[in-house]
Structures are given as C-alpha cells and as structure tokens.
Amino acid sequence: MDQNTSLFYPIVDYKLNKTQKKQLRSLLIEAFPKSVQKRLFESQIPSFRGIVKIFGSIVAHVGVTHRIVNVDDKTFEIFGIFDLCTRKIHRKKGLASNLMAWVHELAGKSGINHILLFADQKQRAFYQHLGYQSVTAKCRWLVMDGAKSHSISEKQMDETLMIRSEAVDIFSGKTIDLLGGIF
C-alpha cells in the first residue's frame, strides 16, 4: 500500500468518531444497498473491524465477530467474517485481500484455528482463492428482529458456508450452533 493508505486494525465501535461512523455507514450502504438500512451492524456490534482509509476516508471494511460455536457438543473458538466491502472506485486493488490477510494473521497469532463466513455464489471464488472451502452443514442461530430476539432458526447451508481451517471435517456434515445471531 502506498503512503496515502493506512490500515487501521483492529478498531472497535466505541472508538469510532462521528465522521468515521458516517463514512462507514455510507460505505456499507453503497456495498449492500438491499440489506443495509443506515446501520453500522446487522444484529450485534462486531467484536472488531478492519478498515482501510485513503486520504482520511474509509474505503474498505471487514467486520469480525469473535465467539465460540458448538459442533456436536464440542466448542470451537472462531472468527466470523461479515460485511467485507470496498468502495467501487477502489475495487480490484487488493484492499479486500489485504484486510482478509490481516484477519488470517491475527487469527493465527491469537490461536484461533477456524474462520467462518457466509458467501453467495458470486463471492465464493474470491474466498476460495484465500483458502476457504465450501462446507455443507446445518447451522442454528438466533434470529433477531431489530433489537429483539425473535426465534431460533436452523437451516442446511449448502455451499454458502465457507470455512478456513486445517480441520474443515470438524464442521462438514454436522450441526453448527452459532450461539448467537448469524454473521
């Protein structure tokens, strides 16, 4: 990255100033126009975020949740990835790949061996290039409606669940309880 780009990591929401919140909200609305309703998070505040700023403006972002999941009565510490995005004018410059490389490095240094995310068909090739594998598994999560718990949902995830782990078979074909909302 050049001298005008700085990667801030991690940043936590309570440290975001008003300008950063406005820039982040604008980026998320641009990247996810159908699902984002002027928000900074879907159902829960992320554990931390990685952001890229160019000339003082946020141009790329990744949200990370740090939690445990339950698979066949065993718990595993994971990072869950969501809202990876880059402003349209800054795409295809490696910013998203650099953010993900940073997440992978942080996971390794922290002893977290499993990184999970949900990706649609258009995104899968990008994540496969970064070492993720599509996994078929049943997932269970807390459904939230706004700021209220609604119900528990359980759904078979065929190929949308992607995992980066040396032990993908721990998750494949199993029921993964996300122990919270989906990310």
Boundaries of every domain in the chain: 5-181
Q: What is the pLDDT of residue 37?
A: 64
Q: What is the pLDDT of residue 159?
A: 86
Taking only the tens place, the pLDDT of each residue in 89-135 is 999 999 999 999 999 999 999 999 999 999 999 999 999 999 999 99
Fold exhibited by the domain 5-181: Aminopeptidase (3.40.630)
Q: Which residue, chain included where needed, has tokens 């074909």?
A: 173
Q: Which residue, chain included where needed, has tokens 């029921």?
A: 175
Taking only the tens place, the pLDDT of each residue in 5-46 is 566 667 899 999 999 999 999 999 999 888 766 667 767 889
Tell which residue, 132, 68, 72, has the closest CA to residue 100: 132
Q: What is the pLDDT of residue 157?
A: 94
Instruction: Examine the pLDDT at 158 and tell me if it is beyond 70.
Output: yes
Tell me, yes or no, if the pTM score tops 0.85. yes
